[in-house]
Amino acid sequence: MTSPSIHTSVLPAEVMSFLAIEPGMTVIDGTLGGGGHTRLLVEAVGPTGRVIALDRDPAAIERGSHEFAGKPVRFAQANFCDIPEVLDALEIEKVDRVLLDIGLSSDQLADNTRGFSFDSDGPLDLRFDPTEGEPAWRMINRVRPETLADIIYEFGEERFSRRIARRIADARQREPIKTSRDLARVVMAAVPRQKPPQRIHPATRTFQALRIAVNQELKSLRIALERTPTRLAANGRLVVISFHSLEDRLVKEAFRNRQVWENLTRSPIEASDDELARNPRSRSAKLRAARVLTAAAAE
């Protein structure tokens, strides 16, 4: 029996406002996670509609299949960039709405076997699907320091990337870095202390960069933004919630294509003060929405 989710979904009211779901619609939740958004989608489509919930994490799929048993939800352990293949398998041509929440869930952070938390003594894995790809601990013990620095700089936008990579290279010569806590200690030793202290943990950007690299997150988002319009019905909508500038930039650029999208958010929607007080994780969330144009949907 799976344990209940501890995750709180961000921007729920804003998500539902921009999706503008009507009863009977077919909707994709591209990141099931803790199921908070999925629950709202199920209520909105009603008994005559259907929700298709995707997630790369098998734990999320297992939990969701129990929680939503008997509801009009179909599940698929899949990357949201593979939405066309998922729909083909279900023999569904078009959907009315798609939601992509690109964030990390609190359930994943709390799982010590996954390595997402800085304080975890578990293996530094960082993969959404533990059966796919290379765990982060193996990558940082394998790649050249120069390559590692490039990854940390490009995907983490970390200005101390060279110093961090050199520290990692020195540390792994003595003993392989295996746990999240081990890596966090190395990064903290490499990053100069800031005055006043930074709002985020000094290892945040490094962990973000490694997670993006091992999961190929930006590649997945780029592919999803290219492929989703062709599986949206006329007037279909796509809502994307991102949590850092690299993701938000991709979404912003995609929605600027006026041959494909009518942009519904000229600037990103962010959490209200009330939501920030209830859920501090919503601090970095940015929501953008667009309506697919008829010509793009017909392709």
**What ranges do the domains of the chain cover?**
12-107+218-298, 121-216
Q: Do domains 12-107+218-298 and 121-216 have the same CATH topology?
A: no
Task: Give me the mean pLDDT over the 38-54 stretch.
Answer: 97
Q: Taking the mean position of all CA atoms in its chain, how far away is CA 116?
A: 13
pLDDT digits (tens, 9 = 90+) for 198-251: 778 899 999 999 999 999 999 999 999 999 999 999 999 999 999 999 999 999
Ramachandran assignment for 157, one of left (phi > 0), alpha (psi -120 to 50 degrees), beta (any other): left
Q: Taking the mean position of all CA atoms in its chain, how far away is CA 245? A: 13
- Give the model's pLDDT for residue 116: 87
- Residues in the chain, total: 299
- With a CB cutoff of 8 Å and minimum separation 6, the contacts of 224 are 30, 80, 81, 83, 100
Residues 243, 285: contact at Cβ < 8 Å?
A: yes
Q: Quote the pLDDT of residue 194.
A: 75
Give percent of the chain above pLDDT 70. Answer: 96
As a whole number, the mean pLDDT across the chain is 92
- 12-107+218-298 homologous superfamily: Vaccinia Virus protein VP39 (3.40.50.150)
Q: What is the pLDDT of residue 3?
A: 64
**Residue entry with tokens 């200005």:** 159
How do residues 170-204 score in pLDDT, each as one tens digit?
999 999 999 999 999 999 999 988 766 677 889 99
Residue range 125-149: mean pLDDT, rounded: 95
CATH tag, 121-216 = 1.10.150.170
Phi, psi of 132 (to 5 degrees): -125, 130
The pLDDT of residue 299 is: 62
Mean pLDDT of the 107-132 span? 87
**CA distances (Å), origin 71, targets 4, 28, 29, 87:** 17, 14, 14, 19
Amino acid 193: pLDDT: 82
What residues does 17 pair with on adjacent strands? Answer: none
Mean pLDDT across 130-156: 96
Strand intervals (E) in the chain: 26-29, 50-55, 73-77, 95-101, 232-242, 261-263, 286-292
Quick one: pLDDT at residue 181? 95
pTM over 0.75: yes
